[in-house]
Copies of this chain bind each other. A is one copy, B any other.
Amino acid sequence: MRVVKTIDEVRRQVKEWRAQGLTVGLVPTMGYLHEGHASLIDASHRDNDRTVVSDFVNPMQFGPTEDLESYPRDIEHDAALVEAHGGDLIFHPEPEEMYHEGFSSFVDMTVLTQELCGLSRPVHFRGVCTVVSKLFNIVKPDRAYFGKKDAQQLAVIRHMVDDLNMDIEIIGCPIIREADGLAKSSRNTYLNADERKAALVLSQAIAIGKDMVKNGEKDCAAIIGSMKQHIEAEPLARIDYVKIVDCATMQQIEKLDRPALCAMAVYIGKTRLIDNFFTEDV
């Protein structure tokens, strides 16, 4: 397992693999890897001969008031985890390797990014689409792996790949949770003991929503209402959004009459956490 910092090194390595007829999987991450990332690396290792993990806190997907500076980083820990899960290469560039002086191109879309996290984080998906496009062009993988925890991101990337004819298979992998239900996230590290306990309202609300769907509830407002009520009872929690959207368009719907995503973003103290479920997975 190697850690490289330049685009040229990645390209040379992948070219060598390609010359041997090997397939390549890519797991794009912002580092500070946890079991969620590990499950993506496992999936890639299972499907491909070689796995590249990119480990890059992408400045372009953070807004000016967001946590770019404080976002946790630990490349030694990441390298050990990638090695343990059968990854072959970590691409860990400095920001200036990815964004040279005069950088001004971007990839974006006019739908899918307008709802949910796109509302609270207006530059976020432009940054995601741009850096993922760059990583795809650098690594040229056969397959790329993304977690369903970032459900809107997964939908946006699938749509981008389809619209722009990128010849890459996108694999979405299930949310990995702590024993008590909290979805694994690098940002969980921000939480103090009280907040960690309070953060359970997210996964509890998800369980409430899932149960209602399972029991045949079709009225989105009713589902959302029950979920919100549970979250609002927690004094440390502040709801950014709880919404149910059409899987294909990310537009809000009123009735569960098609494949839908129920997604939420909730501040616990200063930490913004997300969680979700797809009605098809219930």
Contact = CB atoms under 8 A, between A and B. Distances in A.
Interface of A: 7, 11, 100, 102-112, 129-130, 133-134, 137-138, 140, 159-160, 162-167, 248-249
Contact of A164 (B105, B111, B163, B248): B105
- Interface residues of chain A: helix, strand, loop or mixed (majority): mixed
Contacts of A108: 105-106, 108
A164 B133 contact: yes
A242 to B, nearest CB: 25
Given A137-B167, A138-B165, A159 B111 contact: no
Give 7 closest A-B pairs by Cβ, nearest first.
A105-B163, A137-B165, A105-B109, A104-B111, A104-B110, A104-B109, A134-B165
A265 B164 CA distance: 30
The residue among A105, A108, A133, A160 with the most chain B CB atoms within 10 A of its own CB is A105
A28 to B, nearest CB: 14
A146 to B, nearest CB: 16
A164 B109 contact: no
A167 B109 CA distance: 23
